[in-house]
């Protein structure tokens, strides 16, 4: 395997929250002097003897010494993570470096997540489904020092993916990340580390806690995934408040079924919320209801977070099998719109309280609360974490709509970013001059302040809670020599919420015999993650246009939906 020395450029500075706001957030105690690596270490110390994690491990030894299920205290986890931090440092990962973390929900995910933080580096939260196109983009954009993956998990030949994109980067005169293969066994350290490698200063502030801590991915509103720079203090504020709002305690046993790298899973209240409270984490090896239900019973799970399609699958399965879910007390649903009809079946069928979560990796998170009336929990997506989360609902010209009307949601606050990492152009469009993030969501605010998501203005497809920017699919389709024009659309779907459809106009002289198959092969060869590949392809001879000559997505969608109704 190729190896490269890692002398990396410093993290670039990024638009942070201006001092006037920052001073207020400090004064109100929202932002405190703590970094994420320190937070993780002190959680591992204060909960050292409590059960921290039940998970499958694919390279670390389980209880009987063989790879399998691990059942660790926070103390044991810390000793493995200390070893991971050392391995990363030996691989040349230094303070301020960016590290692509690409692992499924196994014990190694947490071990290396902590290891990266403790080595003073910044994780970049890739998904196991990402392929060479996405990985190359993240490596380029972040000048990543290392790529952590495992050659021992299924799903893909990660070593081969690495070789492909690393070769591409070399061809461009860039230095690819070094490989850290998690399949190589790790001996736990005798003692957890004394102190993490200090955080380096990269931004304007001198405070370590106000530096960028990691880069989260966004479905974004345009183009390929953008990188979201979150700072230690702002993120930890959202974590502490989330843990409080969601009622986490030492007795909480949290099931993790959604991808661990998601912002929802990390922080709403998620994995970091569990660390804060000293709760136990139970990682499911796969998201199937069967696996989840047997873990819930065996591990006495109390708390779980789902996306709407998964909630529907749980309901359908529970109705048939009547599993023992007696321990389960809260089911969170977020990441995409939950229909009230589905919401209404959660308590009766799963026997747990529903909590709706409407969040975004850029910041703002809303929760329905324990004291909310049932109707509110079923029909709204909750209220913001912070009294200082500013919410504006505006029309197409940024004018506030009248109370209770639907409009574009803009937000600014103590844990919402002011700009993406290295995206000057997108930042001009994605944020207002006074720093509000344009969420691309259409919402209306109920009289009590509860937010209801009523639509979406951004050209994005939400498949199983995974966000897909239509531009990314269209831009790639247009590199196909036989395609003259292409429009990607989300079509409603019972099992995944929305599926990607692509309407193409062939170039003169081109005809497709099996367009879906041919384009599937084309997108796969181009290295696009499978979940973004169009599942429906329609060939049109021309596209509908508006009276100013732009492609009318609205009309195209209507045509397509009518067509699909007749020919599903």
Q: Which residues contact ligand DBH (rule: CB under 6 A)?
A: 263-264, 267-268, 334-335, 357, 359-361, 365
**Dihedrals phi, psi of 17, to nearest 5 degrees:** -70, 125
How many Å from the N-terminal Cα to the C-terminal Cα in the chain? Answer: 47
Tell me the three state secondary structure of residue 133. helix
Show Cβ contacts of residue 223 under 8 Å, excluding neighbours closer than 6 positions: 426, 469, 471, 472, 475
Task: Report the residue closest to ligand DBH, judged by CB.
Answer: 359
Which residue, 35 or 460, is less far from ligand DBH as judged by CB? 460
SS3 70: strand
The count of chain residues that interact with ligand AMP, using the rule CB under 6 A, is 20
Tell whether residue 359 is a contact of ligand AMP (CB under 6 A). Answer: yes
CA-to-CA dists, residue 223 to 66, 185, 227, 467, 468, angstroms: 44, 38, 12, 12, 9
Task: Report the run of H or E that residue 230 belongs to, with start and end.
Answer: strand 226-231
Helix axes 289-299, 308-321, angle to 10 degrees: 70
Which lies closer to ligand DBH via its Cβ, residue 93 or residue 361?
Answer: 361
Of 230 and 276, nearer to ligand AMP (C-beta) is: 230
Q: Which of residues 211-240 bind ligand AMP (CB under 6 A)?
A: 218-219
Place of tokens 């994995």: 271
How far apart are CB 102 and ligand AMP at their closest, in Å? Answer: 18
Q: Does 147 bind ligand AMP (CB under 6 A)?
A: no
Looking at the chain, the number of H-run helices and the number of E-run strands are 17, 24
Tell me which of ligand DBH, ligand AMP, none is bound by residue 365, counting a contact when its beta carbon lies within the kind-specific cut-off of 5 to 8 angstroms.
ligand DBH
CB of 73 to ligand DBH, least distance (A): 27
For ligand AMP, the binding residues in 445-464 under the rule CB under 6 A are 453, 456
Q: How many residues does the chain have?
A: 568
Q: Contact with ligand AMP (CB under 6 A): which of 381, 383, 411, 464?
A: 381
Least separation in angstroms between CB 63 and ligand AMP: 37
508-534 per-residue burial string, b: 16 or more CB within 10 A, e: under 16: eeeeeeebbeebbebbeeebbbebbbb
- Residue from 192, 335, 430, 490 touching ligand AMP (CB under 6 A): that is 335
Stretch that binds ligand AMP, among 278-286, 334-342, 393-401, 530-538 (CB under 6 A): 334-342
Q: 51 vs 225, which CB is nearer to ligand AMP?
A: 225
CA distance 189 to 177: 25
Q: Positive or negative, the Cα torsion across 73, 257, 372, 441?
A: positive
Sheet of strand 146-149, all strands in order from the earlier edge strand to the far edge: 178-181, 146-149, 98-101, 122-125, 212-218, 226-231
Using the contact rule CB under 6 A, the part of the chain among 140-148, 267-275, 277-285, 356-364 near ligand AMP is 356-364
* Residue 116 makes contact with ligand AMP by CB under 6 A: no
Q: Which window, 196-204, 341-349, 354-362, 543-551, contacts ligand AMP (CB under 6 A)?
A: 354-362
Tell me the closest approach of the beta carbon of residue 264 to ligand DBH, in angstroms: 4
CA count, 13 A, side-chain hemisphere, 232? 26
Contacted entry of ligand DBH, ligand AMP, none for residue 439, CB cut-off 5 to 8 Å set by kind: ligand AMP
CA atoms of 4 and 135, how far apart (whole Å): 17
Give the nearest distance from C-beta 205 to ligand AMP in angstroms. 25
Q: Which is nearer to ligand DBH, 150 or 460 (CB)?
A: 460
Task: CB nearer to ligand DBH: give 266 or 487.
Answer: 266
Stretch that binds ligand AMP, among 165-173, 351-359, 504-512, 543-551 (CB under 6 A): 351-359
* Least Cβ distance, residue 359 to ligand AMP (angstroms): 6
Name the site residues for ligand AMP (rule: CB under 6 A): 218-219, 263, 334-337, 356-362, 381, 439, 441, 453, 456, 467
């Amino acid at each position: 395997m190729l190896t490269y020395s890692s002398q990396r450029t410093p993290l670039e500075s990024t638009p942070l929250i201006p001092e006037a706001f920052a001073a207020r957030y400090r004064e109100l105690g929202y932002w405190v002097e703590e970094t994420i690596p320190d937070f993780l270490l002190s959680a591992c110390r204060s909960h050292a003897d409590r059960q921290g994690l039940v998970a499958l491990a694919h390279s670390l030894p389980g209880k009987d010494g063989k790879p399998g299920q691990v059942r660790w205290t926070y103390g044991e986890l810390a000793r493995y993570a200390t070893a991971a931090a050392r391995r990363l440092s030996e691989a040349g990962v230094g303070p301020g470096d960016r590290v692509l973390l690409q692992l499924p929900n196994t014990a190694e995910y947490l071990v290396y997540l902590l290891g990266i933080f403790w080595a003073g580096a910044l994780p970049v939260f890739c998904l196991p489904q990402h392929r060479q196109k996405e990985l190359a983009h993240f490596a380029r954009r972040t000048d990543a020092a290392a790529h952590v993956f495992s050659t021992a998990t299924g799903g893909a030949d990660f070593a081969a993916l690495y070789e492909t994109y690393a070769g591409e980067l070399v061809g461009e005169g860039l230095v690819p990340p070094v490989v850290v293969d998690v399949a190589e066994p790790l001996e736990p350290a005798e003692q957890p580390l004394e102190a993490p490698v200090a955080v380096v200063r990269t931004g304007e502030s001198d405070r370590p806690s106000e530096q960028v801590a990691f880069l989260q991915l966004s479905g974004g509103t345009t183009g390929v995934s953008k990188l979201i720079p979150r700072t230690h203090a702002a993120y930890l504020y959202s974590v502490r408040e989330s843990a409080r709002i969601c009622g986490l305690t030492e007795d909480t046993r949290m099931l993790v079924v959604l991808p661990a790298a998601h912002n929802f899973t990390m922080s709403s209240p998620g994995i970091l919320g569990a660390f804060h409270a000293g709760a136990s984490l139970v990682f499911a090896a796969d998201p199937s209801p069967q696996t989840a239900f047997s873990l819930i019973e065996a591990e006495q799970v109390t708390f779980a977070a789902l996306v709407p399609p998964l909630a529907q699958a749980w309901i359908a399965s529970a109705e048939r099998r009547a599993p023992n879910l007696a321990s389960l007390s809260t089911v969170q649903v977020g990441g995409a719109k939950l229909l009230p009809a589905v919401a209404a079946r959660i308590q009766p069928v799963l026997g747990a309280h529903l909590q709706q979560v409407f969040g975004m990796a850029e910041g703002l998170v809303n929760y329905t609360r324990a004291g909310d009336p049932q109707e509110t929990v079923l029909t709204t997506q909750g209220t913001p974490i912070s009294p200082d989360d500013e919410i504006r609902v505006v029309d197409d010209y940024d004018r506030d709509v009248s109370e209770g009307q639907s409009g574009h949601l803009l937000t600014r606050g103590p844990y919402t970013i002011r700009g993406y990492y290295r995206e000057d152009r997108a930042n001009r469009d994605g944020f207002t001059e006074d720093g509000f993030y344009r969420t691309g969501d259409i919402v209306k605010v109920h009289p009590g302040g509860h937010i209801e998501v009523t639509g979406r203005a951004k050209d994005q497809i939400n498949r199983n809670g995974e966000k897909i920017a239509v531009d990314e699919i269209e831009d790639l389709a247009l590199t196909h020599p036989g395609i003259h024009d292409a429009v990607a659309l989300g079509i409603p779907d019972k099992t995944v919420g929305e599926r990607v459809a692509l309407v193409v106009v062939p170039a003169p002289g081109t005809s497709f015999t099996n367009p879906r198959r041919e384009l599937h092969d084309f997108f796969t060869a181009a290295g696009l993650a499978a979940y973004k590949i169009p599942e429906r392809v329609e060939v049109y001879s021309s596209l509908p246009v508006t009276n100013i000559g732009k492609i009318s997505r609205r009309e195209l969608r209507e045509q397509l939906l009518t067509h699909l109704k007749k020919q599903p």
